[in-house]
Structure 1
Amino acid sequence: MVIVLKKDISNGQKENLTAFLHSHDFKLNEVKGEEETVIAAVGRVKLDVSEVELIPGVQRVIPISRPYKMASREFKKENTVVEIKNSKGQIIRIGGNRIVAAAGPCTVESREQIMRVAASVAESGAVLLRSAAFRPQSSPYTFEGLGEEGLKYLKEAGEKYGLPVVTEIGSENLIPMMQDYGVDVYQIGAGNMQNFDLLKKVGSLGKPVILKRSYTATLEELLMSAEYLLSAGTENVILCERGIRTFEHSTRNTLDLSAVQVLRSLTHLPVIVDPSHAVGIREKIPAMALAAVASGADGVVVDVHPNPEKALSGAILSIVPEQFDKMMHDIEALAPVMGKSVYHIFSGECAKSERKSDSKKLLVAYSGKKGAYAEQAIGRYFDASEAEAVALDSFSDVFQSVADGSCDYGMIPIENSLNGSVYQNYDNFSRFEDVEIAGSVTLNIRHSLLGLKSASLSDIKTVYSHPQGFGQSKKYLDQHKDWALVDSVSTSTAAEFVASHASKSNAAIGSIVNAEIYGLKILAEDIEDDPGNFTRFVVIASRDRINKSENKPLFNIKPNMASFIFTTKNESGALYNTLGIFEKRRLNLTRLESRPIKGQLWKSWFYADVEINKEDGDVYAQCASIYEELKDKTEEVRLLGVYADGR
């Protein structure tokens, strides 16, 4: 049933209502809309609608009309997004505005085979590794997989390349083994779609499940099977269209792409498509994968084998890695037309989630070498007794180390008073979706020109620094137009380079701290354009860490700032209406930036920093309320953090 609440319902009345429903073992989902708030309730016990309507605070009750309840769009209006964490700390999300690809061989045949395929599909853009270790076959004389050995190889390959693994389960007896090996996503094959005992057992695990449509099933039967999974405990069900049996024999099955849009109207669950098992003709699979994306699917599942002619199973269903690579490039080009982008895993060979130090202190990552301004910001924000600075090669590495847990926090520059925003880090926030802001600190930046002890200004021909260092010292550099300027990862990296290469013609722009650390001479001091040169740094942390501990106040300043990232709807006045949410609360918007969205032409992320009025009550409650309003006005929104800002 759908319970519409009165607009003036009190907190006490709502608590009494939910307590009543929970006492009858109902599962609840509250949905706040612009006009009304409703509670969707599903349970095994039948309640008289009139009995619920008499409860104080209830305006009316609408029965859910579908035989499937929790899977119904009536139960949950917004789309479900299934989250799957990979070995790099990234959370893969299926549903929403991203397209995902799951790929791999039909069956694990050897360690060498699965490692080779995993490396290939990861490089091409897959975010999930799919393959069978136990393969139910229509004939007892065909290859049924390596069993536990195959499961071991599959998980090893997934861990190495940051790909969560998807594998089919055909018997509840396999559950303990698959749990031991850490299977990320369980697949219910078409042959088991109506194996209700298996559905209940797998659903009770609470893990993500891909449910494939049987080739004889109606969409209602598919959704009733999903209902078994949902009612057993899991909230993460992904529906998969893989073709149905018709009178046509030109292809293996008939791929019913109309099912994608029909399911969109019937259910909130994500929908993916398996063109390999549907078509069964190698050269036609990529085209049907593109058609699936064009139909609105949230992703595709594709069989990939390095040598299909020698495959022990699924030979006719498999494309070669080169075909998969081209297919992913084509999907990248098509995605913007659908208003979507393709999901990617973090770059890098493999996950390195070990802590970067044995120290018991908090590990705080920064980009550059010892003496970087970011390291000085770490010293200002954290007590020396509680934190250890960890130097990394790039801003992306700082985000990665925080995401995968090898460091506790990161310190990154976000804006400078003279040279503006550090756009690379705004882009990193859109890439690393599970990294948030935990704090902020502002540092006065004073630049010096540093050279070898034996050097003088007349010797200098090449100057190294971070682009921000050059931008903040433009007036000084304009006096020396004959100098070549070379970008470095950080000002401290530039100083280390000058010291290690020992050439009198080289100099670096950086802090006087760098001169002390690297044994350099200060050739010119305070060369920044303006003494009011300040850089604002933010402390970043994984969402898990922030959720486990309240953000540290800065110099006794309690949280007073919130940062949001959002995309607007494609309609007139969308940005104006979104910003109106802040204006009506009389909140000061201290920063608004826009950045292009990769893969979506002429669309942008907007980043907003907002001062929160502490006098208006609980800061976190205010931000939660703002977030809910933004969800209604935007296509996508994230609360990047609620934190103390001492600017």
Structure 2
Amino acid sequence: TEITSPAQADLMMKYVDVVQVGARNMQNFELLRCVGRLGKPVLLKRGLAATIEEWLMAAEYILSEGNDKVILCERGIRTFERYTRNTLDLTAVPVIKKLTHLPVIVDPSHATGIRDKVLPMARAAVAAGADGIMVEVHTEPERALSDGPQSLYPEQFEQLMRDLHVIAPVVGKQVDFDYLPKAKYFAASTPSDATLVVYAGVPGSFSYKAALQYFGESAPMENVATFRQVFESVATGKARWGIIPLENSLTGSIHTNYDLLMEYNLFIAGELTLRVVHSLIGYEGTNIEDIKIVYSHPQVFEQCAEFLSQHPEWDLVACKDTATAVTRVQERGDRSRAAIASAEAARLFGMTTIKEGIETHPQNFTRFVVITKEPLQNGPKDKSSIIFSVSDRPGALYEVLKVLAENQINMVKLESRPIHGKPWEYMFYADLEVDLDREDMKHIMKEISERTEFFRYIGSYRQGSRVVS
């Protein structure tokens, strides 16, 4: 809710979660200090004629009162252009990202003032790196008392969210529909002395990045050395949630983790698609010509095969994860050594990115899943995973797939893995676009179990971002 006067502070303190300072009050310094003292999150909109520096200086007034919960909002500035209400300055987003730690969102509704211009500018805002968007939606915009011409119809908003679901992973983000209920559930169900999330690797690894993106920076986390230790931590109750990679869009399935899913009696509670951008990392001043040894994970070497083929003289040394590779280089202090990891890992360990984006294909995504001891009960779910085996006879697998076809259930993944101790016999893992936990779907599981030698349901959850070209 927008505050326009310090006299409204007591009312805001009682009823409002987030206080907005509008564009016309961006340099109302008395008001800025007032909202700073409230201690509530503050959405600070950019002034109509404010420079980026003036905008940041306005934020300093709030911060100076001890309130670090400031969200910047780019909502367009006044220029000579008359085709839109204001000119949406999307260049401000990457500039702000460079200058400050504060999150920045974009308001394309007030910036353009035109309904059909809101959608493309919202998509562009997310692509530019905005942490969020703020749009107006109305079931009957023509009857709205204000801002009707810029308000989206609900079906337009639905289309926008589908588009952003695809765009967000490209810039290392996700559309998290369940963020608030998830955060409340985690807070209510986790004892203060328990680790909430466990991941394999060290801070700076892609698993660490996925855990941060899914659970948020405030979630208690612990790292372990191996994927098996992730499963063991969840199975024994040491951690409530684990996050593991299951497949990569370039190199395929991570077989170890499929085997562990079959071995441990755990459930999938969520998934996340993370874009993977690999960088060559070393000490400041390192030239590519100086490098003799490169460290990284074996799958990363595969994903960067084209770049590495240009340097056949390099020795490739495998590490358990990409962040460990960076620490190996850091510990040796030798410019003849480099690592392949994320640019975030380089910053975390004080190293330099020598060359960014060295993966062979830019559409390099890894699918992570969240595992837990009990199946997810609450919240919207539209995807399920099952494990099963069939007898060794013609048509056995077909009979299972026929159940899915007859019930109009789309199977988006089928993985086969050898059964340990039974040569040439296989266990199947399948992802289905359906919530098998629904009462009207229970007969599906019964029909499948009747046609299999082994059947296990391993959870229903909301689909993560499905990336399309």
Classify the TM-score, shorter chain.
0.5 to 0.7
Partner amino acid for 2:333? A
| Distance in 1 separating the partners of 2:223 and 2:432 | 30
* 2:266 maps to 1:435: yes
Partner amino acid for 1:417? S
Partner amino acid for 1:372? S
Equivalent residue, structure 2, for 1:473: 304
| Distance in 2 separating the partners of 1:421 and 1:541 | 21
| Distance in 2 separating the partners of 1:413 and 1:622 | 31
2:377 to 550, 554, 558: 550
Equivalent residue, structure 2, for 1:120: none
| Distance in 1 separating the partners of 2:441 and 2:220 | 31
Q: Secondary structure, in 3 states, of the residue corresponding to 1:414? A: strand
Shift of 1:493: 1.4
Equivalent residue, structure 2, for 1:347: none
| Distance in 2 separating the partners of 1:402 and 1:621 | 28
1:382 to 215, 223, 229: 215
Map 1:492-571; keep pairs closer than 5 Å: 492-543=323-374, 546=375, 550=377, 558-571=380-393
Equivalent residue, structure 2, for 1:391: 223
| Distance in 2 separating the partners of 1:472 and 1:515 | 19
Shift of 1:636: 0.3
Partner amino acid for 2:406? K
Q: Secondary structure, in 3 states, of the residue corresponding to 1:565? A: strand
* 2:242 maps to 1:410: yes
1:609 to 431, 453, 463: 431
Shift of 1:473: 1.2
| Distance in 2 separating the partners of 1:516 and 1:425 | 29
Query: In the alignment, is the contact (CA less than 8 A) between 2:194 and 2:239 conserved in 1?
Result: no
Q: Secondary structure, in 3 states, of the residue corresponding to 2:220? A: strand
Q: Secondary structure, in 3 states, of the residue corresponding to 2:439? A: helix
Query: In the alignment, is the contact (CA less than 8 A) between 1:367 and 1:489 conserved in 2?
Result: no
Shift of 1:533: 1.1
1:586 to 408, 433, 445: 408
Partner amino acid for 2:416? S
Query: In the alignment, is the contact (CA less than 8 A) between 1:620 and 1:642 conserved in 2?
Result: no
Gaps of 5+ in 1: 1-356
2:203 to 370, 373, 376: 370
Equivalent residue, structure 2, for 1:624: 442
Gaps of 5+ in 2: 1-189
Shift of 1:639: 0.8
Equivalent residue, structure 1, for 2:315: 484
Equivalent residue, structure 1, for 2:290: 459
1:637 to 433, 438, 455: 455
| Distance in 1 separating the partners of 2:321 and 2:196 | 20
Query: In the alignment, is the contact (CA less than 8 A) between 2:384 and 2:431 conserved in 1?
Result: yes
Give the 3 Å change call, closer, same or farther, for CA 359–371 of structure 1 in structure 2.
Answer: farther
Q: Secondary structure, in 3 states, of the residue corresponding to 2:453? A: strand
Shift of 1:396: 0.8
Question: 4+ residue stretches of structure 1 with deviation over 3 A?
Answer: 357-362
| Distance in 2 separating the partners of 1:625 and 1:439 | 23
| Distance in 1 separating the partners of 2:266 and 2:210 | 19
**Equivalent residues, number:** 276
Shift of 1:581: 1.2
| Distance in 2 separating the partners of 1:565 and 1:481 | 42
* 2:394 maps to 1:572: yes
| Distance in 2 separating the partners of 1:623 and 1:495 | 48
Partner amino acid for 1:517? L
Q: Secondary structure, in 3 states, of the residue corresponding to 1:384? A: coil
* 2:276 maps to 1:449: no
Equivalent residue, structure 2, for 1:254: none
Equivalent residue, structure 1, for 2:422: 600
Partner amino acid for 1:540? I
| Distance in 1 separating the partners of 2:348 and 2:263 | 34
TM-score between both structures, scaled by the size of structure 1: 0.41
| Distance in 2 separating the partners of 1:431 and 1:463 | 34
Spell out, residue by residue over 1:369-426, the C-alpha distance to the aligned partner (whole angstroms, 9 max, x if none). Answer: 10111111112211333x2221110111111111111111111001111111111100
| Distance in 2 separating the partners of 1:358 and 1:502 | 42
Q: Secondary structure, in 3 states, of the residue corresponding to 1:595? A: strand
Shift of 1:622: 4.8
Shift of 1:625: 2.5
Q: Secondary structure, in 3 states, of the residue corresponding to 2:411? A: strand
Spell out, residue by residue over 1:427-456, the C-alpha distance to the aligned partner (whole angstroms, 9 max, x if none). Answer: 111221x11111101111111011122422
| Distance in 2 separating the partners of 1:488 and 1:562 | 33
Map 1:42-191; keep pairs closer than 5 Å: none
Query: In the alignment, is the contact (CA less than 8 A) between 2:195 and 2:222 conserved in 1?
Result: no
Query: In the alignment, is the contact (CA less than 8 A) between 1:369 and 1:496 conserved in 2?
Result: no
TM-score between both structures, scaled by the size of structure 2: 0.56
Shift of 1:364: 0.7
| Distance in 2 separating the partners of 1:531 and 1:359 | 41
Give the 3 Å change call, closer, same or farther, for CA 517–577 of structure 1 in structure 2.
Answer: same
Q: Secondary structure, in 3 states, of the residue corresponding to 1:634? A: coil
Q: Secondary structure, in 3 states, of the residue corresponding to 2:261? A: helix
| Distance in 2 separating the partners of 1:447 and 1:622 | 45
Shift of 1:359: 4.9
